[in-house]
Amino acid sequence: MGGQVLHEWAMGADPADAEALAAGAGRLGALIAGRRTYDASIRWWGADGPTGPRRLPLFVVTHRVPDDVPTDGVYTFVTDGPEAALEQARAAAGDADVAVMGGPDLGRQYLAQGLVDEIGVHVVPVLFGAGTRLFSDLVGGHVALEVVEVVPAPSATHLRYRIVR
């Protein structure tokens, strides 16, 4: 069983999963991802990006712009760091939310800098024995959270927390 099982809920037909996905996407105005997420996902996303026909802008934090980028895509490659990507994503999103998606490394960087307002987690009923831990090595220790929403579904439990400052 590979890591892809973590994303199967988003492709399934369960109404609770679909509602959780639609509600989260409805709040968004822009997204940020790291280069590994982009490289692993571009073959499925194509030029429209992870939001499909909505074509929300995706800011990819990277050290080097890839050679092969889809024509007329929604991608902006940011080579001057996560803070610059966040600044550009906020400007593009206007009053809507900005989401950091993909692996844990980029999210932890934003969390450590106090730049995260909410955390959404989709808990899939499977345990892995290895991999990158989502919230390991938190700078500053504990992060207090307030429950905003819990949506149970057979294939995942969808959690949304607000950061308590």
Q: Which residues of the chain have pLDDT under 50?
A: none
| pTM of the full structure | 0.88
Q: What is residue 141's predicted lDDT score, i.e. its pLDDT?
A: 75
Q: What is the DSSP string of 127-141?
A: --SSS--TT-S-TTS
Domain ranges of the chain: 3-163
32/59 Cα distance (integer angstroms): 5
Q: What is residue 103's predicted lDDT score, i.e. its pLDDT?
A: 77
Question: What end-to-end distance do the CA atoms of the chain give, in Å?
Answer: 38
- CA dist 139 to 46, 76, 136, Å? 35, 28, 9
Longest dimension (CA), the chain: 43
Q: What is residue 92's predicted lDDT score, i.e. its pLDDT?
A: 98
Q: What is residue 2's predicted lDDT score, i.e. its pLDDT?
A: 66
Query: Residue holding tokens 């609770």?
Result: 16
Superfamily of domain 3-163: Dihydrofolate Reductase, subunit A (3.40.430.10)
Q: What is residue 139's predicted lDDT score, i.e. its pLDDT?
A: 67
